[in-house]
Structure 1
């Protein structure tokens, strides 16, 4: 249970940042997050649909970190151009 409660959400938080830096698009990171989290949840729970809320939670976490990374990268690029 620790895998689903702690490890995977932390990995998806990190993936949100790293994925945005690799692909430069938030929606690509969200699609990959949704697909992989669906596979992990189904593999872990044995195709139990009652745990699909975790897919939404980790996708949301990944979206938050991707958007924050996008904003920070924009601010950083803007600061570099100004100076």
Structure 2
């Protein structure tokens, strides 16, 4: 029986961090009401985490870009849904 721990390196990179990035995209948009602020925080936090985790290895920067892209997608979708709900309430 294989037990998946979400703090093991492979599970952390493939499941936990993308899931946290998606959730942060939604929550961050509701907190700051700006997509670019959420993206800057995500990029900075991902960069610090990847550098601390890999020991300043620049070959893993694609994970930073991936996490920022996932966060951008969920922030934009949240913004569109929020806009549509506000527009529907006015009509």
TM-score w.r.t. the length of structure 1 is 0.96
String of CA shifts for 1:39-65, please: whole Å, max 9, x gaps: 111111111111000000000000000
Superposition CA RMSD, Å: 0.6
How far does residue 6 in structure 1 lie from its aligned partner after superposition?
Answer: 1.1
5 Å-filtered alignment, 1:53-64, equals 53-64=62-73
Q: Which has the higher contact order (CA 8 A, sep 6+)?
A: 1
Number of corresponding residues: 82
**Where in structure 1 are there 5+ consecutive unaligned residues?**
none
2:13 equivalent among 4, 13, 38:
4
Counterpart residue number, 1:78:
87
Q: Which runs of 4+ in 1 moved over 4 A?
A: none
Structure number with bigger Rg: 2
- Structure with greater helix share of residues: 1
